[in-house]
Structure 1
């Protein structure tokens, strides 16, 4: 299949590339060292105003309405410049998409414009728990009905953007007697709601600029209108939206991998040993060739999944393939980039060290590589 981008998709990609170079990339190292939060939030606002936090949201809600391919291209460019910014944008876009897909008219009108214009600096998904990671149906967070309200109690783990998210999509058990996965509902909880508190920030290997926190719900009272979709139908919503999120992580992985390999190619052309540039050695050339093949394959898988979603076709298997391959290719590319830099690659003075650390999480979040293989094999046999 020929993936020929539309004029709009090219414009969005090029704009994302320009903004990434101008405002995102210059802050990446500072974020990695634990600073730059005010500038980071200012960047998120600018990205929202440019349409990059609501790429696949309808224009009536302030969105760009450009489709999934455009979304993937955007996240790739942001990830190329700064993985922390890329993952923040990816998750925020998916929060907007789930509201658009299953939210009420009131929920869409209230929340989508606030995501689109940056009033909410970011959106967050509250799904994972200590005992419910790859198996979210085992969650323990509960929501009980109390008059015309729901009261949420529990704890969510590893929540991206929790410290500065303006809106949380929260899953909780509403019928403890139902079969596993059947009694779960989905809620929208705004930041600042009494009973919602943000816990400690996790100390992570990479993506230091992206906050990852525990989120506590202690008698968190929300109106009945906060229920998103049907009561007890939340698990289906979670499974459906994770597939779209995997396209985002595939794009993020590709961006990180591409940045690492661009740095490595520039380095091997400059670095001289035995009287010549090390790029002239066949061993180096073969390493580059293998990784360039990885990049191209990851790009085609990502675009295939995104195009299927845009056409309204089933895309879950393809999204898992793209996420699996791109995330593991990112590990190969960043590892090769470090190796090609030699001892310099192990030093923080060169960006490939950061790319190597940032890439590692892509094999874990939005479903581990092992879970992706389960999905791919299950869907293959089902077909």
Structure 2
């Protein structure tokens, strides 16, 4: 495994960074429509898609720096949801369970050019129950953000065989989206909704499926970016803010945690890139994806909270850029499992 980025990874990071810098608004805010347009123009949605779907087939190795950079800006991220939707459609095709909607079968190629986007729901409130010749989805969950002109929502659903992922077309009978609420999230409600695509269980005999492994790697990269972005803001604040005649960065209570977090950031970065490298090379990435996500989630929670403390009273205002990282970390840290449960799962996988 390479311990440093290659030219393609560096170019991707710089391209995404430059594009987001062009559209960033006051207080570091980014408009979802403008961010999606930037990603479409850069062609990043085709990164992981195979040649058969008109993709670039670069793999997870190149998806990781894109997710990390989006996290660093706490940007509205339509990439992870789009990539997961494409993976979901392919997993359904491989399992031979079929798709209900012809539009779903065409979605990988359309995702590659940014014409199909998806919302990525969070929560365990959706239940899949047998009905007729298939399953119906009912319950509530939340959407941290709704991408522009989303065609599908990807939702986790509890099933008798374990958790599955479902793609539900926007406009399906029984689907309602309310919001945004005061915490800037939307409520997604389903009542006897027929999914357009339904994945196999995300775990089989305690082993995460390839679909879940890839989702966890992208999530770990995004959380790494959130932690890195919050850390950068905290370092800048510590360097520029002066109290009692000296910079607050000279205080050990501020400086030491920042130094420790930097070391953890580099450790997580190596773990995430190793997991992506394993996934691309056909090696088992289940352990790497699980432990890198657990580590990244813990670090994101810790780094964003400390960054708010470093900013003081300014850090708790909604206009503060660090607040966006803090809120995003709280929502995203448990998307694919709480850190404690992920560590237990990684330990069990190592003992197999």
Give the TM-score of the pair, scaled to structure 1: 0.77
Q: Counterparts in 2 of 1:272-351, with a 5 A limit? A: 272-351=242-321
Is residue 257–residue 329 contact of structure 1 (8 Å, CA) maintained in 2?
A: yes
2:171 aligned partner? 192
1:35 aligned partner? none
Distance 2:33 2:283 in 1: 36
Distance 1:269 1:98 in 2: 45
Task: Tell me, yes or no, if structure 1 residue 142 matches structure 2 residue 121.
Answer: no
The change in CA–CA distance for 1:191 and 1:239 in structure 2 (over 3 A counts) is same
Deviation of residue 369 (structure 1)? 1.5
The change in CA–CA distance for 1:46 and 1:289 in structure 2 (over 3 A counts) is closer
Indicate the SS of the match to 1:203. coil
Deviation of residue 312 (structure 1)? 1.2
1:8 aligned partner? 8
Gaps (5+ residues) in structure 1? 32-38, 133-138
Aligned length: 342
The change in CA–CA distance for 1:94 and 1:54 in structure 2 (over 3 A counts) is farther
1:167 to 142, 146, 152: 152
1:243 to 204, 213, 219: 213
The change in CA–CA distance for 1:125 and 1:345 in structure 2 (over 3 A counts) is closer
Distance 1:337 1:143 in 2: 49
Deviation of residue 74 (structure 1)? 0.4
Is residue 9–residue 66 contact of structure 1 (8 Å, CA) maintained in 2?
A: no
Is residue 168–residue 189 contact of structure 1 (8 Å, CA) maintained in 2?
A: yes
The change in CA–CA distance for 1:342 and 1:314 in structure 2 (over 3 A counts) is same
Distance 1:337 1:128 in 2: 26
Q: Deviations over 1:254-284 (max 9, x none)?
A: 1111111111111222222333323334443
Task: Tell me, yes or no, if structure 1 residue 112 matches structure 2 residue 108.
Answer: yes
1:72 aligned partner? 64
Q: Deviations over 1:226-265 (max 9, x none)?
A: 5567xxx455598442222111221111111111111111
The change in CA–CA distance for 1:215 and 1:28 in structure 2 (over 3 A counts) is farther
1:26 aligned partner? 25
Q: Counterparts in 2 of 1:82-231, with a 5 A limit? A: 82-83=74-75, 85-86=76-77, 88-103=78-93, 110-120=106-116, 122-124=117-119, 129-130=124-125, 139-145=127-133, 150=134, 152-159=136-143, 164-169=149-154, 180-181=160-161, 188-193=167-172, 195-201=173-179, 203=181, 205=183, 208=184, 211-218=185-192, 220=194
Deviation of residue 212 (structure 1)? 3.7
The change in CA–CA distance for 1:216 and 1:9 in structure 2 (over 3 A counts) is same
Give the TM-score of the pair, scaled to structure 2: 0.83
Is residue 77–residue 255 contact of structure 1 (8 Å, CA) maintained in 2?
A: yes
Distance 2:299 2:57 in 1: 30
The change in CA–CA distance for 1:170 and 1:59 in structure 2 (over 3 A counts) is same
1:369 to 319, 332, 339: 339
Gaps (5+ residues) in structure 2? none
The change in CA–CA distance for 1:330 and 1:227 in structure 2 (over 3 A counts) is closer
Deviation of residue 365 (structure 1)? 1.0
Deviation of residue 213 (structure 1)? 2.8
